[in-house]
Structure 1
Amino acid sequence: MTPQDMQARIVRYGDLRPCKTAFIDAHTPGSDQKENFTIIGGGVSESPDQHVHISLPHGFNIGAAGQPPKCRNSLHNHRTAEVFFVLKGRWRFFWGEHGDAGEVILEEGDIFNIPTNIFRGFENIGTDYGMIMAILGGDDAGGGVIWAPHVIKDAQAHGLVLGENGKLYDSKQGVSLPEGVNPMPLLSKDELAKVDTPTPMQVVGGYVRRYLDMFALTQSGKPCKVIGERGIIRDRPGFEVDFITRHCATSQKHSHDRPSVLMPMRGHWRVEWDGGSATLAPGDTMSVPENLAHSAVPSMTGEASLYHVISTGDPAGATWTGA
């Protein structure tokens, strides 16, 4: 594969194109400063304004959220997996219909495999613009977002209406619901009762892993299997996530029978393949084609780490077991 072909599969951090109207809370005070990025796949955006950098199916979606300090993403639910790792800043993740069932603070490099069927939200509690990278299960990302009822009500008060077709309509732009399209109905009490509300111990103990702990595990000379059937988070959400550092990186080329994705966290990484090479920096995202022999090693001294994602072909279904 030529370098030109591969360049089309590399999304540089500095070239990310944000969408500021991606979701229903885009006008709600406290959430109106956030930016959403759709890197690989269509994601779960409700706005036609989103820009998809790489549309090739991978079996999962890659996205990102960028927010200034004190900006939050409103409480919502997904039918498929949602995994975040913190690229920049300090973030508070919270859950429950009103966000008061539990919370956890994540630092740079930490990863959170958020269980499905719980309302979740997140907030930048750092002192500068922050960025979190997201992996969503399935090529269709589960068909959208399920919002907590109060989020939909707040959005309507600020001019945004979500149609039952999953699309947003902005009255501030003179757009109203089309004829025959009703507003998205609020969840009933019976439906809300079926949403899980796990304890902080259940969520933090089972679904959060810390950067420094994973970094230490790679000093054995092997990648840290973060999410997978044999991972330190034992789950099969439709993809696997590995954590790789210079302690376990190898220049020996290998290939996969499915597309894979490289997402540097620290340092610069030189990726070589049969036909060319490229250097990746933190925040860059690279899609590696199936059956392409390649390698990835740090190109400079100092700390170096990256996340590797590959589809497993499992259904991108529920991860929460109630354990």
Structure 2
Amino acid sequence: MTPTEMESRIVRYGDLRPCKTAFIDAHTPGSDQKENFTVIGGGVSESADQHVHIGIPHGFNIGAAGQPPKCRNSLHSHRTAEVFFVLKGRWRFFWGRWGTAGEVVLEEGDIINIPTGIFRGFENIGTDYGMIMAVLGGDDAGGGVIWAPQVIEDAAGHGLVLGQNGKLYDTKKGQALPSGVGPMPVLNDAELAGYPEPTTADVVPHYVARYYDLYALADRTPAVVIGENGKLRDKPGFEVSFVTRGSAWDDLRAYPRPSVLMPMRGHWRVTWGEGSATLAPGDTMSVPENVAYSLAPSMTGEASLYHVVATKDPAGATWNLKGTAA
């Protein structure tokens, strides 16, 4: 693969194209300043305005959320895995029917593998614009977003209606549901009863990993963060590893499925048979399947990177809230 061909599979942080109308809460006060990014795969955006940087199927999706201070993403659920790591800022993640069952604050580099099938939300509690990177299981990311009823109801008061087809319509712009398409129904009480209310003690030990713990674990070899044998033991359809200067590799390594490199700290040199590229924090690189490459920091100082590769496991829930086989 030539350097030009490989560069087309690199999304630079400065080239990310945001969508400010990606979801049903885009006009709801408190959530109306968030930006959504779809880096790899179709993502779960409900807006026709969403730009997709790399549409090649990987077995998972890569996205990002950028938000100013005090801006939040409303309560929702997914049918497949949703993993976040904090690239910039300080973030509070909360969950439960009303967002009060539990919460955790994540700092830069921390990662959370939010359990499938619970309502979750997040907000930037830092002092500056923040960014979190996301990995969603499956090529179709589980078919979209399931919103808590109050989110749909609140959005209607601000002009946005979500159709049963998963698309948004802005009544303030004169848009209406197409003929034959009804509004997305809200979950009823019986359906809501199936959503668990795990406490902070249920979630944090099994689904949250701290940056400096991972940095220590990856001192000599890459640390598996999320995987069947990972620090956060799960089988969400992809494996996430953490690499530091001490665990980078000079030999050429290839994977049978596309692998994604996402630097957290420092600049990284990726070298393959026909060329090389340098990545900075916030960049995302997709290396094609069976392309062998080496990976090493290109400068002195702290260096860390998240590595994601699909597995043969189903993209749905395979582990329960205690971290054991479901």
Q: TM-score, normalised by structure 1?
A: 0.99
Q: Look up the equivalent residue of 1:186 and give its one-letter code.
A: V
Residues 249-272 of structure 1, C-alpha deviations (whole Å, 9 max, x = no match): 111111011100000000000000
Measure, in 2, the Cα distance between the counterparts of 1:125 and 1:320: 30
Q: How does 1:100-139 map to 2 (within 5 A)?
A: 100-139=100-139
Q: How does 1:266-281 map to 2 (within 5 A)?
A: 266-281=265-280
TM-superposed CA distance for 1:39, in Å, is 0.2
Measure, in 2, the Cα distance between the counterparts of 1:233 and 1:243: 12
Measure, in 2, the Cα distance between the counterparts of 1:107 and 1:156: 34
Q: Look up the equivalent residue of 1:261 and give its one-letter code.
A: V
> Quick check: 1:115–1:319 contact (8 Å CA) kept in 2?
no
Residues 85-127 of structure 1, C-alpha deviations (whole Å, 9 max, x = no match): 0000000000011111110000000000000110000000000
Q: Look up the equivalent residue of 1:282 and give its one-letter code.
A: P
Measure, in 2, the Cα distance between the counterparts of 1:68 and 1:172: 25
Q: Verify: 1:301 aligned to 2:303, yes or no.
A: no
Q: Which residue of 2 aligns with 1:30?
A: 30
> Quick check: 1:271–1:296 contact (8 Å CA) kept in 2?
yes
Residues 202-253 of structure 1, C-alpha deviations (whole Å, 9 max, x = no match): 101110000000001112x111100011000110000000000001111111
Measure, in 2, the Cα distance between the counterparts of 1:12 and 1:288: 14
> Quick check: 1:273–1:292 contact (8 Å CA) kept in 2?
yes
> Quick check: 2:162–2:183 contact (8 Å CA) kept in 1?
yes
> Quick check: 1:117–1:320 contact (8 Å CA) kept in 2?
no
Gap regions ≥5 residues in structure 1? none
Q: Which residue of 1 aligns with 2:241?
A: 242
Q: Which residue of 2 aligns with 1:65?
A: 65
- In terms of mean alpha carbon deviation, does 247-256 or 86-95 score higher? 247-256
Q: Which residue of 1 aligns with 2:229?
A: 230
Q: Which residue of 2 aligns with 1:84?
A: 84
Question: Secondary structure of 1:182's partner?
Answer: coil
TM-superposed CA distance for 1:173, in Å, is 1.3
TM-superposed CA distance for 1:179, in Å, is 1.3
Q: Which residue of 2 aligns with 1:45?
A: 45
> Quick check: 1:265–1:305 contact (8 Å CA) kept in 2?
yes
Of all paired residues, the percent bearing the same amino acid is: 75
Question: Secondary structure of 1:251's partner?
Answer: strand
Question: Secondary structure of 1:194's partner?
Answer: coil
Q: Look up the equivalent residue of 1:247 and give its one-letter code.
A: G
Q: 1:218 to 1:322 in 2, by over 3 A?
A: closer
Question: Secondary structure of 1:253's partner?
Answer: strand
Q: Verify: 1:95 aligned to 2:95, yes or no.
A: yes
Measure, in 2, the Cα distance between the counterparts of 1:171 and 1:186: 19
Q: Look up the equivalent residue of 1:285 and give its one-letter code.
A: T
Question: Secondary structure of 1:240's partner?
Answer: strand
Question: Secondary structure of 1:214's partner?
Answer: helix
Q: TM-score, normalised by structure 2?
A: 0.98
> Quick check: 1:64–1:134 contact (8 Å CA) kept in 2?
yes
Measure, in 2, the Cα distance between the counterparts of 1:293 and 1:209: 29
Q: 1:113 to 1:319 in 2, by over 3 A?
A: farther
Question: Secondary structure of 2:201's partner?
Answer: helix
Measure, in 2, the Cα distance between the counterparts of 1:225 and 1:258: 17
Structure 1 stretches of 4+ moved >4 Å: none
> Quick check: 1:81–1:319 contact (8 Å CA) kept in 2?
no
Q: Verify: 1:251 aligned to 2:250, yes or no.
A: yes
TM-superposed CA distance for 1:322, in Å, is 3.5
Q: 1:85 to 1:13 in 2, by over 3 A?
A: same
Q: Look up the equivalent residue of 1:232 and give its one-letter code.
A: K
Measure, in 2, the Cα distance between the counterparts of 1:251 and 1:320: 35
Question: Secondary structure of 2:212's partner?
Answer: helix
Question: Secondary structure of 2:252's partner?
Answer: coil
Measure, in 2, the Cα distance between the counterparts of 1:310 and 1:191: 33
Measure, in 1, the Cα distance between the counterparts of 2:21 and 2:170: 9
> Quick check: 1:71–1:123 contact (8 Å CA) kept in 2?
yes
Q: Look up the equivalent residue of 2:215 and give its one-letter code.
A: F
Q: Which residue of 2 aligns with 1:162?
A: 162
Q: Verify: 1:18 aligned to 2:15, yes or no.
A: no
TM-superposed CA distance for 1:320, in Å, is 5.0
Gap regions ≥5 residues in structure 2? none
Q: Which residue of 1 aligns with 2:312?
A: 313
